[in-house]
Amino acid sequence: MEMDSNSPHITLAQWDTDFFGLRIARIAQDTLSHDHALRADTWCRENDIRLCVLLADPDHMPTAHVAALHGFHMMDFRVTLDRDLSAPIVPPRRTVRAFQPSDLPTLERIARASYTDSRFMIDPWFPAKARSDEMYALWVRRRCGDVTAPSSFAPADHVVVADSDDGQPAGFVTCVLRPSPDDGAPLGMVDLVAVDAQARGQGIGEAMVLAALAWFRSQGCQHAEVVTQGRNVRAQRTYQRCGFLTRRAQTWYHRWYGLAD
């Protein structure tokens, strides 16, 4: 179900809809006019949408005003950071290793507890917060190669794991290779990053990210990219220590139906 060519590109987010049990739509463009907002609203009501999502360019101020007028609530900032892999990569100060299948139960536990600042968790109207925790557990299962897990995520190309002093997994980074949108060259994506709450502050996240960067370089990547939440200052500082620079910021908006309208 898509709108016509005179309307914003909006579709049903099928996997999100199936997983969370409520109909979620996504506006693909990153700007919004008054006319497009009206058309999107009509489409959402005709298709029984509960949540309409917009990822907007924050530099386009008319979008912020239009979104507010049409019931969209600013929910989060999405920050994209970039790392030039031709620059030196400092060796990790902690030993890290590649994923082993026996790690998976611990990595799932860490994933369930690590993403409390996601836009679904902070949205006061989101009714399926427990499912958000499970989404990240499913995400890491798929990235670690469990293709039986019901998810749209493909297996990662590499997974970095760090152990705590007792030898148990204390964190992970999943690494994904994608063609660069600029020239088609391999681009390293730092995908999921998590550190057990009991092991934070020990340099584990930084060590894993540095190991991921070295692996990307070994695969012929010239750049690496990572995305995080604007409020996640701890993660941003880790990436900055590893040589990442902020490249882009975007704003997530949520528009709910069936609350008071």
Q: What is the pLDDT of residues 36-93, one digit of tens each?
A: 999 999 999 999 999 999 999 989 999 999 999 999 999 999 999 999 999 999 999 8
- For residue 101, with 0-12 CB atoms within 10 Å meaning exposed, 13-18 middle and 19 or more buried, which class applies? exposed
What is the CATH architecture assignment of 82-248?
Answer: 3-Layer(aba) Sandwich (3.40)
Angle, CA of 216, 233 and 194, to the nearest 5°: 50
Q: What are the φ/ψ torsions at residue 13 (nearest 5 degrees)?
A: -80, 90
pLDDT along the chain (261 residues), means of 10: 54 92 94 94 96 95 95 96 96 94 96 91 89 91 82 88 91 96 90 94 95 97 96 94 96 89 49
Report the relative pairing of strands 51-56 and 24-27 from DSSP bridges: parallel
Rounded Cα–Cα distance for residues 48 and 32 (Å): 21
The pLDDT of residue 148:
73
Domain with CATH 3.40.630.30 in the chain: 82-248
pTM of the model: 0.90
